[in-house]
């Protein structure tokens, strides 16, 4: 293998598993250390620069960072990265003096944002400090998009949402709320220099089962019903409720139904419980509120007798998997089972809807009715029209929408300044030694066994009475410190200097995970097998040195390293050093 080029910023970035897994590449270990040091405002701003909505995401993020967390290789549970983000948000000071300055003199460029959700707001956040004039159009009463209409208040209080949305709107964004855009041509006729479309995936899927027409008002589309509740158009539901679907929207629907009068609420899903798309913690919260989840049932028909809605019939199925892991649901052959209910909430997925984009505008669509959008620039077939968030590539999540917004803002800024939109901005990178003494580092490098701390919840008897009472209370500061200390600081990298190494193998002796090996070089496939502990995770790289005097190379399995620093402490020649690697995504105009 060739020697590893650690000057490539993406090499160590990939080693910081949590940050690499985050679509917005938030410097996770950096803000967790700040929380441990009680620098909550600094921790908040590290988040705000990257993910824009720390208070919102600290409550609602899908947490792609946590399955990647290195602590999960030591114990069963990763660091509570998401809930620590909330700690920073809940305990910060006033940040107004830390927000970007907005120039009084504009740059003469006008941008329209269609939709007021996280993608559009991120574009505004990045472009307003550069002097752009921005108009935001949304059919809701305020900013936030699906965060406002589809995330229940018991998960995301309105005050938290409005605070972080207003940080952006108060930069001088001209808002056009309660305004439905029903023609892209009308927007294009306004001669904006750029248009960004961040309208989400606003249409819930329908089953169109037998009996649905007769069941009428008893059948509700999940996301539409959640919006109706959020805007207080609906404030009750039948006592017996069946929720169809196995995603996070289904979990929000069933838990909301419990608060609006549902006494017997069931989630019924086609797939096995383990295959459900809902996040594990969302399923746990639903079951904690006495909501059973019944799996392996495929809905057949809505039953109406003598003009009265009775319930839903289902076919019992087994999940059968082929050698490639593809699943097929096979009927057990039993008689259909009837679940009686008063109302049904269908939360079986969402899809995009662009009836307001005329097909002769120049926007190109694929066979599924999705706009053709460049995955790097977010540019459409009309060069000054960009898409992002769910509107670009289908339903994802808030943090992905934020990542889209950052990159779309870069493209818009390039386009408006006559630059090549395909050019991406290089990340900001630093690599600094953490050595403070012979055996002392500027970070806490111990790796004790320490199980994840539980986030406390309010009394269920109270939360089920009022849909606006937040369920999770968040960590207190003592527990937050303890949870922050579980972080293994995987952004502090083990950096090896061949010229200092005397090949004494002391680092091999001390390494608790056997991730360091000195061996003759070979092709990667063979080298992975020759290590002290076989390197089986092919998605993580090997760190390979230049050839040493004994014609061996140092090989380190980055996947198994705990970043404990013992190799650097043991090394008699300082061939190893622990250096903090900070990687930041460069924003538009930076």
Q: What is 57-90 written as a DSSP string?
A: HHHH---THHHH-GGGGTSSS---HHHHHHHHHH
How far apart (Å, rounded) are the C-alpha atoms in residues 90 and 44?
A: 9
Co-location of 398 and 320 in the same domain = no
Q: Is the pLDDT of residue 588 over 80?
A: yes
Co-location of 183 and 214 in the same domain = no
- Please indicate, yes or no, if residue 409 is contained in any of the structural domains: yes
- Please indicate, yes or no, if residue 444 is contained in any of the structural domains: no
In this prediction, residue 438 carries a pLDDT of 66
Co-location of 154 and 216 in the same domain = no
Co-location of 256 and 362 in the same domain = no
In this prediction, residue 352 carries a pLDDT of 86
- Please indicate, yes or no, if residue 518 is contained in any of the structural domains: no
- Reported for 448-453, long-range contacts at CB under 8 A and 24+ positions apart, including other chains, are 449/74, 449/75, 450/75, 450/482, 450/485, 450/486, 451/75, 451/76, 451/77, 452/75, 452/77, 452/78, 452/79, 452/80, 452/483, 452/486, 453/80, 453/479, 453/482, 453/483
Co-location of 239 and 252 in the same domain = yes
Question: Of the residues 385, 416, 447, which one is the last residue of a structural domain?
Answer: 416
Write out pLDDT tens, residues 48-100.
999 999 999 999 999 999 999 999 988 889 999 999 999 999 999 999 999 99
Co-location of 115 and 195 in the same domain = yes
Question: Of the residues 325, 350, 375, which one is the last residue of a structural domain?
Answer: 350
- Please indicate, yes or no, if residue 81 is contained in any of the structural domains: no
Co-location of 326 and 392 in the same domain = no
Co-location of 218 and 328 in the same domain = yes
Q: Is the pTM of this model over 0.85?
A: yes
Co-location of 191 and 228 in the same domain = no
- Local structure of 583: helix, strand or coil: strand
For residue 243, the domain's CATH number is 3.50.50.60
Query: Quick one: which of 184, 188, 196 has its CA closest to 134?
Result: 196
Provide the CB-side half-sphere exposure for 423 (13 A, CA).
Answer: 10
Co-location of 239 and 362 in the same domain = no
- Please indicate, yes or no, if residue 340 is contained in any of the structural domains: yes
Co-location of 110 and 162 in the same domain = yes
How far apart (Å, rounded) are the C-alpha atoms in residues 142 and 320?
A: 46
Write out pLDDT tens, residues 91-110.
999 999 999 999 999 999 99
Q: Strand order of the sheet with strand 174-176?
A: 174-176, 133-137, 110-114, 194-197, 385-387
Q: Extract the tokens encoding 57.
A: 């995401």
Show the domain range for 335.
204-350
Question: Of the residues 416, 439, 466, which one is the last residue of a structural domain?
Answer: 416
pLDDT band at 154 (very low <50, low <70, confident <90, very high): very high
- Please indicate, yes or no, if residue 301 is contained in any of the structural domains: yes
Q: How many CB atoms lie within 10 A of CB 395?
A: 17
Co-location of 173 and 107 in the same domain = yes
Query: Quick one: which of 83, 85, 98 has its CA closest to 27?
Result: 85
Which are the contacts of 332, defined by CB distance < 8 A and separation ≥ 6? 316, 317, 318
Interaxial angle between packed helices 118-127 and 398-416, expressed in degrees from 0 to 180 and rounded to the nearest 10: 40
Report how many domains make up the chain. Answer: 2
Query: Quick one: which of 41, 65, 352 has its CA closest to 197?
Result: 352
Backbone angles phi, psi at 221, to 5 degrees: -80, 125
- Please indicate, yes or no, if residue 369 is contained in any of the structural domains: yes
In this prediction, residue 439 carries a pLDDT of 67
- Please indicate, yes or no, if residue 524 is contained in any of the structural domains: no
């Amino acid at each position: 293998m060739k020697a590893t080029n650690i000057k490539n910023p993406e090499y160590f970035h990939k080693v910081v598993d949590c940050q690499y897994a985050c679509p917005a590449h938030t410097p996770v270990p950096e803000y967790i250390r700040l929380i441990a040091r009680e620098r909550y405002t600094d921790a908040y701003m590290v988040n705000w620069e990257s993910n824009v909505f720390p208070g919102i995401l600290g409550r609602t993020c899908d947490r792609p960072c946590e399955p990647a967390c290195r602590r999960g290789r030591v114990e069963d549970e990763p660091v509570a990265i998401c809930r620590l983000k909330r700690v920073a948000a809940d305990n910060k000071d006033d940040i107004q003096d830390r927000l970007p300055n907005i120039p009084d003199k504009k740059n003469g460029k006008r941008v329209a944002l269609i939709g007021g959700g996280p993608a559009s707001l991120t574009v505004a956040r990045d472009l307003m400090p550069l002097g752009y004039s921005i108009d935001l159009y949304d059919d809701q009463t305020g900013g936030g998009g699906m965060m406002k209409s589809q995330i229940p208040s018991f998960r995301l209080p309105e005050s938290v949402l409005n605070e972080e949305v207003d940080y952006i709107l108060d930069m001088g964004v001209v808002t056009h709320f309660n305004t439905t855009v029903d023609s892209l041509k009308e927007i294009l006729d306004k001669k904006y220099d750029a248009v960004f479309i961040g309208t989400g995936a606003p249409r819930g899927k329908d089953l169109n089962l037998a009996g649905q027409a007769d069941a009428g008002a008893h059948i509700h589309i999940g996301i539409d019903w959640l919006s109706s509740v959020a805007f207080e158009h609906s404030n009750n539901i039948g006592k017996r409720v069946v929720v169809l679907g196995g995603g996070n929207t289904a979990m929000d629907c069933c838990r909301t139904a419990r608060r609006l009068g549902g006494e017997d609420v069931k989630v019924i899903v086609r797939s096995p419980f383990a295959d459900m798309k809902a996040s594990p913690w969302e399923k746990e919260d639903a079951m904690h509120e006495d909501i059973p989840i019944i799996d392996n049932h495929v809905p057949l028909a809505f039953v109406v007798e003598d003009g009265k809605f009775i319930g839903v019939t289902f076919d019992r199925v087994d999940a059968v998997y082929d050698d490639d892991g593809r699943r097929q649901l096979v009927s057990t052959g039993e008689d259909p089972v009837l679940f009686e209910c008063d109302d049904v909430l269908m939360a079986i997925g969402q899809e995009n809807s662009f009836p307001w984009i005329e097909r002769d505008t120049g926007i190109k669509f694929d066979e599924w009715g999705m706009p053709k959008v460049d995955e790097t620039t977010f540019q459409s077939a009309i060069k000054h029209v960009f898409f992002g968030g769910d509107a670009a590539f289908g339903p994802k999540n808030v943090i992905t929408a934020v990542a889209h917004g950052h990159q779309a803002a870069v493209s818009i800024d390039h386009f408006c300044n006559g630059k090549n939109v395909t050019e991406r901005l290089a990340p900001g990178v630093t690599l600094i030694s953490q050595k403070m003494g012979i055996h002392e580092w500027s970070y806490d490098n111990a790796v004790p066994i320490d199980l994840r701390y539980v986030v406390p919840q309010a009394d269920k008897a109270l939360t089920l009475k009022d849909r606006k009472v937040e369920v999770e209370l968040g960590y207190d500061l003592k527990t937050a410190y303890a949870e922050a200390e579980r972080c293994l600081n995987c952004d502090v990298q083990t950096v090896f200097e061949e010229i200092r190494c005397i090949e004494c193998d002391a680092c091999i002796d001390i390494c608790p995970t056997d991730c360091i090996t000195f061996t003759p070089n070979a092709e990667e496939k063979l080298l992975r097998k020759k290590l002290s502990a076989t390197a089986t995770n092919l998605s993580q790289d090997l760190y390979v040195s230049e050839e040493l005097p004994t014609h061996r190379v140092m090989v380190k399995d980055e996947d198994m390293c705990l970043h404990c620093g013992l190799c650097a402490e043991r090394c008699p020649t300082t061939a190893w050093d622990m250096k903090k690697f900070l990687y930041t995504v460069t924003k538009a105009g930076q």
